[in-house]
Structure 1
Amino acid sequence: MNARRDRTGSHAVFGSRAEWVDHREGRGRTLGRALWLTALSALVPGAGLIGTRRRRLGLLIVSLLVLGTVALALVVRHNGLTATALETAADSRLLRTVLWCLLAGTLVWVAAIALTALTSRPRRSTGGQRAVLAVFTAVLCLAVSAPAALAVRYVDSHLAAMDKVFARPPSSPDGVEPTSALGPPDDPWADLPRVNVLLLGSDAAEAREGTRTDTMIVASIDTHTGDSVLFSVPRNLQKVPFPRDSPLHQLFPNGYDCGNQCLMNAVWTLADLTAEEHPDWFAGDPDPGLTATREVLETVLGLPIQHTVIVNLDGFADLVDAIGGVLVTVKDPIPINGRTFTNAQGNIQLDTSSKVEWLQPGTQRLTGKQALGYARSRVTTDDYDRMRRQRCIVAAVVHQVEPMTLLQRYPQIIGAVGDNVVTDIPRQDLPTWAELTLLVQGATMKSLPFTESNTDTVDPNFSDIRARVWEAIHPAPEAPATPGDSGSSTATASPTDGDRQTTTAPGPQDPGTTTPPDKLEDVGAVCD
């Protein structure tokens, strides 16, 4: 510093403001002051620099921080915290931009801490003082870098999972990308009061290459209330109808009828084999098996299916472990993880020489391996009891995932999803779907299985099935009967076996019909 005295010799004269600040700081530089300013820059990026000769730089960094915080607050206030977070998570480009901004901001923050320590340290400091300040600065830099590193890990896991889950082209006749059925942003479900999602469980090594679907559940969701109904279709349903516009209708115009080899869960394989023999029949369709399965289920239930989610059942255990297990109520002793064989009568038997684990009755938290075994075991029960347990597992996972669990174990959860789930939901619709999922968690969830107690799986009455579906999603209002009501009603016919359309009101029921044991119930009543 080149300061000089005035003519009287009592005052120093400085050539610039920087020289004056440097002179003033030099007299007040102590280790305590340096530690305080460095800590201040760690608490508020750049704030500590305001007390040094780098005051302008500090003011610039703090101003940028304030402007960014105000802008973010305005966006959150306009869209809401949940919508803002979901929109960011669903937009991979925006998420990558946020990631780069986060990295740049962290670098600036760390640099501000280091520069504050450098410009505020005592001029004549001892080796010990320099070491204390250096260690203190390093600790603060690591402290502000750790959250950024964790955020990078979360974002990287999220982006990798999104690329996997949404990587496959949808199963559409022309192979185009899925189109959104949503309406305007203020009411995206205006034109879709109910959305139907097909949940398929595949036993294949990869969910994208499954050939037999032993778990088939259609979730019908009221998009304004979140109330939902789960329809379970048995894998051994026979004579399922193919819609008239399906290529398989040419082979089976009267339904998939060839005995106990022509079951519902064999439709996927049938379509794949037919596509190999007649590729022109499925021209432009990347997934004939998935297309055929979805179309048949639409015809069986009389519901249009907007989207499909395929889950690799072998990887389902990873997802359950990632969320910390799932709490279920076991009704009867269930053997899991043991070997089975088919005896001469065609019945599945348990190999008692294998290592078998028994789940005993009672409410308990299952690991991923136990939950998978619980959902798949049928050696001591049957397909229909297994269907009930599968619905219980689905409902338990939906209702038991807590926000804090998602935050703490997000990389594991999203990694399990990316490895074992694939869907044709458009990526740009994810924020709306995420909000709908939150709505479903707080609403009622009912279940209607089609089992041997209410359906003849060998010679099913599909009109009756569609009537039950219609009644489940259009429950009669609970109101007292009007005097003079004759009890008659006017109804439109249910769709025929060869048509794929929304189910219409069923015709009058037989007065002598009794309510079957398997009926529409709250999932809690079935599972608890």
Structure 2
Amino acid sequence: MREKDRGFGLGASIALTLASAMLWGVAHVAAERRRTGFALMAAYILMLASILTVFTAFSTNLLSLAVQPRWLAWLTAGLVVIALSWTGVIVWSFLLVRPPRADVVGRFFTTALTIALCALVLAPTVYAARVAYLSRDVVNSLFSAAGSTPVVADDPWNGAERVNFLLLGADAAPGRPGVRTDSMTVASVDVWSGATVLLGLPRNLQQVPLPKGPARARFPWGFTGAGPETPGLLNEVFQYAEDNPDMVPGTGRGKRGPALLKQTIGGILGIPVDYYAMVDMKGFSEIVDAMGGVQVTIKEPIVYGRHREGLLPAGTRKLTGQQALWYGRSRTDSDDYVRMGRQKCLLNAVAKQADPMTVLNSFERLAAATKRAISTDLPQDLLPAVVELAEKVKGTKMRSLNLVPPLISTADPDWSFIRRKVAEALADRASARSATAPRAASPRPAPADDPVNLDSVCD
């Protein structure tokens, strides 16, 4: 049928163009191109059915797929193909049902409508493709392509009941070279239930035993530093290893510090430390700002700023990145151990409040801040298992054991006692998981050195 014989007026053209954007092929059928129209309808229905299947049957795996670069590349390509096909159908439909050439006003309105519909399809697709590209970039930037141990899909944790992550907060001070790991926490996670115990170590722990090998040979009686500027505290081990390659032979710069600190802390606690993640404290404030702030409950007013220029009043409030940084960093009118407790609360709050919508709404800022602020040795092929484990963790209540005075002496630690307390804390979680029929017990106050529920302490 020739264009002049079709007889589509302005109203019909607008209606058919809109209908074709919502169901491919409607305009083709109206223009008596039925075979093409029905084929387009079938393709559209098949596409929608495929998308719905993915988001229903595989909904639990979507987050896991989002941290796999190969799948992200396929997702980006698929989104581009769908968007181009959709806009192509809209333009094709418009060309079939547009008003006659003589109807200048009609053609103007239908052309404007077609452009708007194409933009409506392309804009979210471009955004989604960009999110997928940024996700792939973050994954490739932060995580190594492969780990030292192959990951088996059915058992990514290689039969372990717990996996232990060393979480480090690194800080640099003016006039002081390198960084100090002033915040050190091991998150010990039950791989079946997600039950987590946070084991906090003080930065000023002294004479820590180093692992066997070159490190132990240099410091046979415990780490003592390199002189007056490094008095031999636990928070100096990382930078000392970076500055002295012979401490961890065969390991490159940027990896020596994490390797030695993982082995050192694992020896102190009596458990293997599997992976680490280090957050630069300044970069952490950028992450909090990208999230839109973090809500915490402040027990006592906290002075913040190097020159006491601010005050965080007591109460439940949302903190900016800079305020959150000082909430976790400030020692004014308190001490290292009070600060450690606040850091655990801050980690707990960020973990609980980093929901998918928050992440999606500020994804670009979060991606940029994360690349600048975080380093880790988690391999890419383990990320799906980590995402699945993180979902379990969010559904549980974290507990915390801070290895600080008066429980231990930082100047003369009892290493056997520390390992025993850690073993007891982890055994409590293991017995809670394995209990099939819990019995009622008389309530008793927990001793001061028992692990405590972070939610009850921080709220």
> Could you state the TM-score of these two structures normalised by the residue count of structure 2?
0.89
**SS of the residue aligned with 1:153?**
helix
2:424 matched to which residue of 1?
471
The residue number in structure 2 matching 1:496 is none
- Structure 1 ranges of 4+ moved more than 6 A: none
- The Cα offsets for residues 79-107 of structure 1, whole Å up to 9 and x where unpaired, read as x3021x12331221221122122112212
**Relative to structure 1, is the Cα distance of residues 183 and 193 closer, same or farther in structure 2, using a 3 angstrom cutoff?**
farther
Deviation at 1:180, TM superposition (A): 4.7
| Superposition pairs of residues 499-514 of structure 1, within 5 angstroms | none
Q: Which amino acid aligns with 2:236?
A: A
The aligned residue for residue 199 of structure 2 is 231
Identity value in percent: 35
Checking the alignment, whether the CA contact within 8 Å between 2:269 and 2:422 is kept in structure 1 is: yes
Residue by residue over 1:325-365, the C-alpha shift from the partner in whole angstroms, topping out at 9 and shown as x without a partner, is 111111112111233xxxxxxxxxx6xxxxx1011111111
- 2:340 aligned to 383, 387, 400, which one? 387
Relative to structure 1, is the Cα distance of residues 162 and 116 closer, same or farther in structure 2, using a 3 angstrom cutoff? same
Shift of the 400–111 alpha-carbon distance from structure 1 to 2, 3 Å rule, reads same
1:474 counterpart SS class: helix
CA apart distance, 1:33 = 1.4
1:206-217 alignment, distance < 5 Å:
211-217=179-185
Aligned twin of 2:189: 221
Asked whether the 8 Å contact 1:180–1:429 carries over to 2, the reply is: no
For residue 267 of structure 1, what is the aligned residue in structure 2? Answer: 237
Alignment of 1:523 onto 2:441:
no
Among candidates 82, 88, 96, match of residue 60 of structure 2: 82
Find the residue that maps to 2:244 and give its secondary structure.
Answer: helix
The one of 380, 392, 400 aligned to 1:439? 392
Q: Whole-Å Cα distance in 2 between the matches of residues 41 and 455 of structure 1?
A: 72
The more displaced of 284-293 and 450-459 is: 284-293
1:149 maps onto 2:126 in alignment? yes
Equivalent pair of 1:42/1:140 in contact (CA under 8 Å): yes
> Is the 1:451–1:518 contact (alpha carbons within 8 Å) kept by the matching residues of 2?
no
TM-score normalised per structure 1: 0.78
Q: Deviations over 1:279-300 (max 9, x none)?
A: 8x61244422211111100000
Deviation per residue, 1:469-522 (Å, 9 max, x gap)? 1111111667689xxxxxxxxxxxxxxxxxxxxxxxxxxxxxxxx986354100
- Supply the AA of the counterpart residue of 1:406: V
Q: Is the counterpart of residue 448 in structure 1 residue 406 in structure 2?
A: no
Q: 1:165 aligns with which of 117, 136, 142?
A: 142
Name the stretch that deviates more: 25-34 or 125-134. 25-34
User: Which residue identity is paired with 2:320?
Assistant: T
Contact preservation (8 Å) 2:27, 2:97: no
Rounded to whole Å, the distance in 1 between the matches of 2:13 and 2:149 is 57
Segments of 5+ residues of structure 1 without an aligned counterpart are 1-18, 170-176, 340-349, 351-355, 482-513
Alpha-carbon separation, structure 1, partners of 2:345 and 2:140: 29
Structure that is richer in helix per residue: 2
Q: Does 1:203 align with 2:171?
A: yes
State how many pairs are aligned: 442
Which AA in structure 1 matches 2:215?
Answer: L
SS at match of 2:167: strand
CA shift for structure 1 position 123? 3.0
> 1:252 corresponds to which residue?
219
Q: How far 1:61 sits from its partner (Å)? A: 3.4
Question: Which residue of 1 is the match for residue 69 of structure 2?
Answer: 92
In structure 2, what is the Cα distance between the partners aligned to 1:416 and 1:423? 15
What letter matches 1:178 in structure 2?
Answer: G
Residue 396 of structure 1 is matched in structure 2 by 349
1:89 aligned partner, one-letter code: A
1:303 aligns with 2:234: no
3-state DSSP class of the match of 2:359?
Answer: helix
Contact (CA 8 Å) 2:294, 2:353: kept in 1 or not? yes
Distance 1:46 1:154 in 2: 31
Alpha-carbon separation, structure 2, partners of 1:136 and 1:77 = 33
Q: Secondary structure at the match of 2:110?
A: helix
Identify if the C-alpha distance between structure 1 residues 405 and 56 changes in structure 2 by more than 3 Å, giving closer, same or farther. Answer: same
Aligned residue identity for 1:222: D
**Structure 2 equivalent of residue 510 of structure 1:** none
Distance 1:139 1:328 in 2: 44
Cα distance 1:250–1:27, how it changes in 2: closer, same or farther (>3 A)?
A: closer
Structure 1 residues 210 and 60: alpha-carbon distance in aligned structure 2, compared to 1, 3 A threshold: farther
Residues 139-185 of structure 1 deviation map (CA, whole Å, 9 limit, x = unaligned):
11111111112112212221222222125x8xxxxxxx413575443
- Aligned pairs for 1:105-184 within 5 A: 105-123=82-100, 125-166=102-143, 177-180=146-149, 182-184=151-153
Instruction: Decide which moves more: 217-226 or 96-105.
Output: 96-105
* Distance in 2, Cα, partners of 1:211 & 1:432: 31
Q: Deviations over 1:214-262 (max 9, x none)?
A: 1101000011111100011001000111122x31101111211469801
What is the Cα-based RMSD across aligned positions, in Å? 2.6
AA aligned opposite 1:520: P
| Matched residue, 2:415 | 462
Q: Confirm or deny that 1:289 pairs with 2:257.
A: yes
Give, in whole Å, the separation in 1 of the partners of 2:328 and 2:172: 16
Shift in Å at residue 395 of structure 1?
Answer: 0.4
Distance apart, 1:199 and its partner CA = 0.5
Residue 498 of structure 1 corresponds to none
Q: Is the aligned partner of 1:192 residue 2:123?
A: no
Equivalents in 2 of 1:72, 1:122: separation in Å?
34
Alpha-carbon displacement from aligned partner over 1:87-141 (angstroms, at most 9, x marks no partner): 3312212211221221122122112111211111233642111111111111111
Aligned partner of 1:490 in structure 2 is none
**Aligned partners of 2:218, 2:259: CA distance in 1, in Å?**
16
State the match for 1:29 in structure 2: 8
Partner of 2:364: 411
